[in-house]
């Protein structure tokens, strides 16, 4: 029977051990990565298959003693020794691993955050059939090579804005024969920022303090503006090769970009809505203004983000919405 098939076997209730592990974990608190799996944090219990195997050994022992069967006793103790060796290998399969959890990229409420978990094996022997699980899902079992590492992606659903924590991670293994399960709980320091869900449809922001249109030069844009001398780092697709052939020197094309209006996105412009609905509408306005190429600023109670136009500015505004506390 394959290890993966054995890993699918249901395990016996282990409420007391799970409660104890959870209690110990609460005392540890959130841990900085990488987290080292030492022997004091690894637990092991027999699976249902292991309990059934133990029952069969007990029946074989009673029968062999009753009939004074030496070969039966030999086989019983041989199988018991095999189970004992399995206990050692199951526990050792998790021992001395290092876990690192990479923080997920920000998402909007309702989307799933993707956390990347990495287990590193610094020892000289491989670690087969290592599984990883959270309270939301369980990743497939994978092998970790000797002096190597293995990565998993865990998707955690988000329901509201703010900080999203993936919760406790459970590393487990049924290796080698599925008689025992060994596991360890880890609570790593990793978070994901969840932005408000943008409103499905929003009316245009009311007229406010706006500035007119402007023009500035970019390497890519709408209208051709002229040529300039080549600068190290300019993309080759922007080199004017025909002009180079005539003049003999490298020149780069420039384009004229028309900038949109400068607009303030104000909390007061969403009056009459609930707090979360107001944040969702502001989120939609931010995304639309950024897509149009408008310079925009954000005003919240006690917070003001000056107008700008960049990806970093967009992230600053969305972060302010995600962490906004009306109180």
CA-nearest of 106, 91, 113 to 38 is: 91
Average pLDDT, the chain: 81
User: Which pLDDT value is given to residue 253?
Assistant: 73
**Total number of domains constituting the chain:** 3
Query: Among 168, 195, 222, where does a domain finish?
Result: 195
Q: What is the span of the domain harbouring residue 230?
A: 214-259
Q: Tell me, yes or no, whether 145 and 279 share the same domain.
A: no
60 Cβ contact partners less than 8 Å away, ≥ 6 residues apart: 72, 75, 76, 79
For residues 86 and 176, the answer to whether their CB atoms sit within 8 Å is yes
What is the spatial distance between Cα 69 and Cα 119, in angstroms, rounded to a whole number?
48
Any idea which residue has 């136009």 for tokens?
309
User: Which pLDDT value is given to residue 71?
Assistant: 93
User: Which pLDDT value is given to residue 203?
Assistant: 77
Q: Tell me, yes or no, whether 219 and 105 share the same domain.
A: no
Dump the DSSP string for 123-138: SSS-EEEEEEE-SS-B
What is the spatial distance between Cα 185 and Cα 170, in angstroms, rounded to a whole number?
5
Helices (H), 166-274: 241-247
Q: What count of residues does the chain have?
A: 327
Helix axes 48-66, 70-92, angle to 10 degrees: 160
pLDDT at 127 over 90: yes
Give the pLDDT confidence of 78-112 residue by residue, as tens digits: 999 999 999 999 999 999 999 988 878 999 999 99
Give the pLDDT confidence of 153-181 residue by residue, as tens digits: 888 889 999 999 888 889 999 998 999 99
CA 303 to chain centre: 30
Q: Tell me, yes or no, whether 33 and 182 share the same domain.
A: yes
Encode 11-49: b = buried (16+ Cβ within 10 Å), e = exposed.
Answer: beeeeeeeeebeeebeeeeeeebebebeeebbbbbbbeb
User: Which pLDDT value is given to residue 28?
Assistant: 58
Q: Tell me, yes or no, whether 166 and 68 share the same domain.
A: yes
What is the spatial distance between Cα 250 and Cα 239, in angstroms, rounded to a whole number?
7
pLDDT at 136 over 70: no
Q: In what order do the strands lie in the sheet with 303-308?
A: 210-211, 262-266, 295-300, 303-308
Q: Tell me, yes or no, whether 185 and 40 share the same domain.
A: yes
Which comes out higher in pLDDT, residue 219 or 227? 227
Q: Tell me, yes or no, whether 173 and 301 share the same domain.
A: no
Q: What is the mean pLDDT of residues 232-258?
A: 70
Burial label, 78 (beta-carbon count in 10 A; 0-12, 13-18, 19+)? exposed
Give the pLDDT confidence of 287-317 residue by residue, as tens digits: 998 888 888 999 999 889 998 888 899 999 9
Give the pLDDT confidence of 11-29 residue by residue, as tens digits: 444 455 555 555 555 555 6
Q: Tell me, yes or no, whether 18 and 102 share the same domain.
A: yes
Q: Tell me, yes or no, whether 165 and 32 share the same domain.
A: yes
Confidence of residue 2 (pLDDT cuts 50, 70, 90): very low
User: Which pLDDT value is given to residue 320?
Assistant: 95
Give the pLDDT confidence of 34-52 residue by residue, as tens digits: 888 988 889 999 999 999 9
Confidence of residue 326 (pLDDT cuts 50, 70, 90): low
User: Which pLDDT value is given to residue 313?
Assistant: 92
Q: Tell me, yes or no, whether 291 and 154 share the same domain.
A: no
Give the pLDDT confidence of 167-218 residue by residue, as tens digits: 888 999 999 899 999 999 988 888 899 999 998 877 777 765 455 444 444 4
Could you give the 3-state DSSP secondary structure of residue 149?
Answer: strand
Give the pLDDT confidence of 54-74 residue by residue, as tens digits: 999 999 999 999 998 999 999
User: Which pLDDT value is given to residue 224?
Assistant: 60
Q: Tell me, yes or no, whether 33 and 175 share the same domain.
A: yes
CA-nearest of 281, 278, 282, 265 to 326 is: 278
Q: Tell me, yes or no, whether 126 and 30 share the same domain.
A: yes
Q: Tell me, yes or no, whether 46 and 145 share the same domain.
A: yes
User: Which pLDDT value is given to residue 222?
Assistant: 47
User: Which pLDDT value is given to residue 61?
Assistant: 94
User: Which pLDDT value is given to residue 209?
Assistant: 46
CA-nearest of 308, 63, 46 to 178 is: 46
């Amino acid at each position: 029977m394959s290890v993966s098939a054995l890993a699918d076997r249901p395990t016996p209730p282990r409420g007391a051990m799970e409660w104890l592990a959870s209690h110990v974990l609460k005392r540890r608190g959130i841990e900085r990565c990488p987290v080292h799996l030492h022997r004091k944090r690894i637990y092991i219990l027999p699976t249902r298959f292991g309990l059934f195997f133990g029952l069969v050994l007990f029946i074989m022992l009673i029968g062999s003693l009753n009939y004074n069967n030496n070969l039966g006793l030999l086989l019983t103790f041989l199988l018991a020794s095999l189970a004992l060796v399995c206990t050692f290998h199951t526990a050792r399969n998790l021992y001395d691993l290092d876990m690192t959890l990479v923080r997920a990229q920000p998402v909007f409420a309702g989307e799933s955050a993707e956390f990347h978990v990495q287990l590193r094996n610094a020892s000289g022997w491989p670690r087969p059939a290592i599984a990883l699980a959270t309270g939301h899902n369980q990743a497939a079992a994978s092998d970790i090579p000797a002096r190597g590492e293995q990565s998993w992606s865990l998707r955690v659903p988000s329901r509201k804005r703010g900080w999203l924590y993936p919760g406790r991670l459970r590393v487990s293994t049924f290796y080698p024969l599925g008689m025992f399960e060994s596991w360890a709980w880890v609570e790593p320091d990793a978070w994901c920022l969840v932005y408000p869900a943008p409103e499905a449809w929003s009316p245009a922001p009311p007229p406010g303090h706006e500035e007119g249109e402007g023009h500035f030069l970019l390497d890519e844009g709408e209208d051709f503006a002229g040529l300039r001398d080549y600068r190290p780092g300019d993309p080759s697709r922007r080199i004017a090769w025909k002009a180079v052939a005539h003049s003999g020197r490298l020149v780069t094309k420039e384009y004229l970009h028309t900038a949109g209006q400068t607009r303030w996105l104000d909390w007061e412009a969403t009056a009459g809505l609930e707090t979360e609905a107001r944040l969702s509408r502001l989120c939609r306005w931010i995304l639309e203004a950024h897509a149009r190429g408008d310079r925009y600023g954000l005003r919240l109670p006690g917070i003001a983000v000056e107008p700008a136009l960049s990806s970093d500015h967009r992230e600053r505004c969305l972060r302010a919405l995600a962490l906004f506390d009306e109180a």
